[in-house]
Structure 1
């Protein structure tokens, strides 16, 4: 890596960066916290512009950043607050499309490099899909460098006119909650008892109850594994607009499925499951997939977006929207403890290939360095 100007060579003042976070998914918020911690440790000044609740949840100030509360809306007040926060920045790094658009507006007319990390892809149809394309194009062209968290996001950024798009190194996010220490078997038993899966296999899916998550297909598959004895219990953690529709289907069809809403003990619940399920229509670096492999929980996932690249041969991959393939993969795995064990071992090996927090920070710093090497002396 080239010299890092944040170490203030030749009398330069420390590098001043602003990290801009919108609503922030669990993945992007954890990434910004990890990045902030690493940058501060290397002498970089970091201001995080994010909604107040994001700082409460992720503690940016706790790792040495200054936090400026900026609401996630694109109203003029929010852009003005960002403009003020970025007034003396050497570089601005926005996470997500909406945060990037606001950062581009706040920086208009100023020659401050903008780095954008695309963490995920937005889903839209009809007129909104057209608006989304315009937004993606605007952001791709405004950024000096776009970092995409999966190869297909890098390709997408290039198609939208990015001058420089690269694959981002993104470290596995630390568990969403401190894991309870204690006897793992006892904790597992406790979680299974609470969910009602003492004498039956437990299957777990996590994610907002939205259309692109593939829960319709998952419920179709649950119909097919009802005949197993004992019938596995599928638990879905997450909240969203489809809750009522899904709940009605579960009741009408008598499906062995429970919606348990938003939870802050996902790590413990996942560790208690036989199989983790990811039926989405698209994912980049799915937090659930990473947590499952890390926790040695066999994963059945759709072969979409960045999933195959992320999990390698350490998961059972099925086509999106194919309930039969999904059900078959689950039934086969439940009946084959040896295959589950193979996936557990492969999962641990695959997780060891993911970038570390240090590698993530080093990559971002080298990008910052490229873009700010002609800074004036302090």
Structure 2
């Protein structure tokens, strides 16, 4: 089978997930191509995993001229594929617009855009026509912003729902939304976490580096961006605390770093911003719990990694988190500062973390593996391993 992956700019879980699928499909004898920005190849080395890589600029923000060029390029590069599997809403919409018989064809006929809009059914009718390779779109994120950006992404959701043959979603709420917009086939995506390497340092060594003393350490691993709800974490850290303040440690970087650091300094909050780290297993080993105050999450790899390490979590009751966490932590409504503070106080009480740590380790052992993920997409693609022919 010939499979072409399409993805946009990513520095995290989506890129690693595609790399895992590439490796699994190549091992099974399939021909694989990856189409996306040059930066993703530099970071994830799809070529070294056995895929043919083609650089195409899939931008983060709408740009009509660039988007048209990108959609045409995707169409040209995937014309011989059996399956096009796009990851993310932007990549999915551009792959959908490039399908034969769709919007690009409608706009290219006599009269262009205005004529397409004026013909019976117009562009919306073109959205319903499908041609060429089977199109699968995995949605890894939900939009948490409003305004013009929210309006544009609402249009992209409709394009994906109407044009994709199959939509895979990382959380139930995304599935409900796609079904409501008319998607024909919506399924749960299987997104495993890669195996977690052992910690290289002891808990005491990490705590000494952090200057934690005897205080409980609460770890957050997140991009410093609006979706992650980090202002709620700072509100929680501000107290009041009936006993000794815990130390909140945040691993990750992003556009809100300056704003968050300014508030931490101005209010003398017990929060450390560590930046990007490559010692996540060490940090998890030193933490009482993982804290995820996110506005939305799909199937966060950091939560899976925490569970595999036996670290319980306090997390927002959003997206795919409840299904992953089970009884291995405490769920709190997103943005509920008092509820999150009470959950932290509960977990740092003597004996509480140990009980939940055992549940976390059990959940970690139940997580799906990489073979489960590859077999699940092959089932969606409708093909079998060449070795089994």
TM-score, structure 2 normalization: 0.84
Partner of 2:3: 17
2:363 aligned residue (350, 365, 372)? 350
Separation in 1, partners of 2:165, 2:219: 40
Aligned to 1:39: 25
Other-structure match for 1:375: none
Aligned to 1:56, which of 39, 42, 61?
42
Partner SS state of residue 146, structure 1: strand
Distance across 1 between alignment mates of 2:57 and 2:294: 29
Corresponding residue of 2:209: 194
Q: Distance in 1 between matches of 2:209 and 2:75?
A: 48
Give me the whole-angstrom Cα distance separating, in 2, the residues matched to 1:64 and 1:346: 38
Contact 1:293 1:351 in 2 (8 A): yes
Aligned to 1:130: 151
User: Residues 39-90 of structure 1: CA distance to partner in whole angstroms, max 9, x if unpaired?
Assistant: 1111111001122222232222222111212222261443343233212111
Helix, strand or coil at the partner of 1:63: coil
Does residue 236 (structure 1) correspond to residue 250 (structure 2)? The answer is yes
Q: 1:254 aligns with which of 251, 256, 268?
A: 268
Secondary structure in 1 aligned to 2:5? strand
Indicate the SS of the match to 2:366. Answer: coil
| Per-residue Cα deviation, 1:297-342 (whole angstroms, up to 9, x for no partner) | 12111111111111111111111111111111112211222x2122
* Contact 1:270–1:297, Cα closer than 8 Å, also in 2: yes
- Answering whether residue 285 of structure 2 is matched by residue 271 of structure 1, we say yes
1:147 aligned residue (158, 168, 189): 168
Query: Paired residue for 1:12?
Result: none
Residue 184 of structure 2: aligned partner: 163
In 2, the alpha carbon distance for the partners of 1:320 and 1:226 equals: 21
Q: In structure 1, the residue corresponding to 2:318 is in which secondary structure? A: coil
CA drift at 1:351 = 2.1
* 1:226–1:256 CA contact under 8 A, matched in 2: no
Tell me the distance in 1 between the aligned counterparts of 2:56 and 2:204: 42
Q: 1:130 to 1:311 in 2, by over 3 A?
A: same
Task: Note the 1:1-378 alignment, pairs <5 A.
Answer: 15-24=1-10, 26-73=12-59, 75=66, 76-109=68-101, 110-175=131-196, 179=197, 182=200, 184-185=201-202, 188-224=203-239, 228-229=243-244, 231-337=245-351, 339-369=352-382
C-alpha contact 2:309 2:364 (8 A) present in aligned 1: no
Distance 2:240 2:313 in 1: 17
Q: 1: distance between equivalents of 2:146 and 2:340?
A: 26
Give secondary structure in 1 for the equivalent of 2:303.
helix
Equivalent residues of 1:205, 1:236 under 8 A apart: yes
How many residues of Structure 1 are paired with residues of Structure 2 in the alignment? Answer: 350
The answer for unaligned runs of 5 or more in structure 2 is 102-130, 385-389
Rounded to whole Å, the distance in 2 between the matches of 1:49 and 1:130 is 26
CA offset at residue 225 of structure 1? 5.5
**Separation of aligned partners in 2, 1:249 and 1:91:** 48
The alpha carbon displacement at 1:294 in A equals 1.1
Q: Which runs of 5+ in 1 are unaligned?
A: 1-14, 373-378
Distance, in Å, in 1 between the alignment partners of 2:199 and 2:255 is: 35
Shift of residue 235, structure 1, vs aligned partner: 1.2
**TM-score, length basis structure 1:** 0.86
